[in-house]
Amino acid sequence: MTPPAIEIISSAQNPRVQLTRALIDQPKARRKHNLFVAEGARLVEEGLNSAFPLHFLLYKATHTDRVDDLLGRLGPGSPAFLLEDQLFDQISDTESSQGVLAVFSIPEPVLPEPLNLVLILDQLRDPGNLGTILRSAEAAGAQIVCLPPGTTDPWAPKVVRSGMGAHFRLPLLSWTWDAIAALTEGLPVYHADMAGESSYWQVDFTAPCAILIGGEAEGISPAGRQLATRTVRIPMIGQNESLNAAISASLLLFEVLRQRFGKRL
């Protein structure tokens, strides 16, 4: 049975409703409050299983049994609030909502030591591509993802949905190029380029390294080009000029995984 809500929210002027809407729509609101929205039962469950602090949870009167299970985990006195269906649907960022969303704090990322696999995403504009890359990066064992200026906000709702929970397990660093250069000092930085000097099949990825992926529209920035120490290409026999950034990143990341752990997996 669903635990009783602390409060039933029926007004669009409610501060939690207004905050949630701002977090969904505005990158500056996410930066100001250091909060983001995870919508859907699976993502909320991933968040509750993580160390991310829960700010509050909103759910609609008409929801699934899975949402009841989530609410049961929170227990009495939890920051969970019931919204009238129409109001929830107004703030929801999905077409077929499962009737639950949660606002989580964005924790300060913990840098692993020593570094052995860093992913740098330069001028990635498409939220769906960015989320897909984060999902692949977490699956392939990337330790951190660096997002320099010019890359879309990783905490935007579409990125979070596409990441399928990767945000809760993968440190994301929205840093300047100078900070990224300092972080990767001493690491070879491989830039994926269709005219790269070497096929990625020929590169030894067993040593610690960083992989740099540019956006489809504008490619790599001057700062990214300056940071890269070597270019690698993905061989193709078809007529396409290039691959989607998410596909390119996934191919390189899983080649690193294959070289390092292939015999053990």
**Which amino acid would we find at residue 157?**
P
- Total length of the chain: 265
Assess whether pLDDT exceeds 70 at residue 93: yes
Assess whether pLDDT exceeds 50 at residue 2: no
Residue-level pLDDT at 123: 96
Contacts of 92 (CB under 8 A, 6+ apart): 39, 101
- Which domains are seen in the chain, by residue range? 8-105 (3.30.1330.30), 117-261 (3.40.1280.10)
Name the band, by pLDDT with cuts 50, 70 and 90, for residue 217.
confident
d(CA 159, CA 156) in angstroms, rounded, equals 5
Residue-level pLDDT at 190: 98
Averaged over 1-30, what is the pLDDT?
86
Q: Residue 90's closest CA among 77, 101, 76?
A: 101
Q: How confident is the model over 99-117, as pLDDT tens digits?
A: 999 999 999 999 999 999 9
Contacts of 240 (CB under 8 A, 6+ apart): none
Assess whether pLDDT exceeds 90 at residue 97: no
Residue-level pLDDT at 4: 47
Name the band, by pLDDT with cuts 50, 70 and 90, for residue 6.
low
Average pLDDT, the chain: 92
Query: SS3 for 7-73, per residue?
Result: CEECCCCCHHHHHHHHHHHCHHHHHHHCEEEEECHHHHHHHHHCCCCEEEEEEECCCCHHHHHHHHH
Quote the tokens at residue 120.
């740098």
Q: How confident is the model over 117-160, as pLDDT tens digits?
A: 999 999 999 999 999 999 999 999 999 999 999 999 999 999 99
pTM of this structure? 0.93
Averaged over 7-31, what is the pLDDT?
95
Name the band, by pLDDT with cuts 50, 70 and 90, for residue 226.
very high
Averaged over 54-83, what is the pLDDT?
87
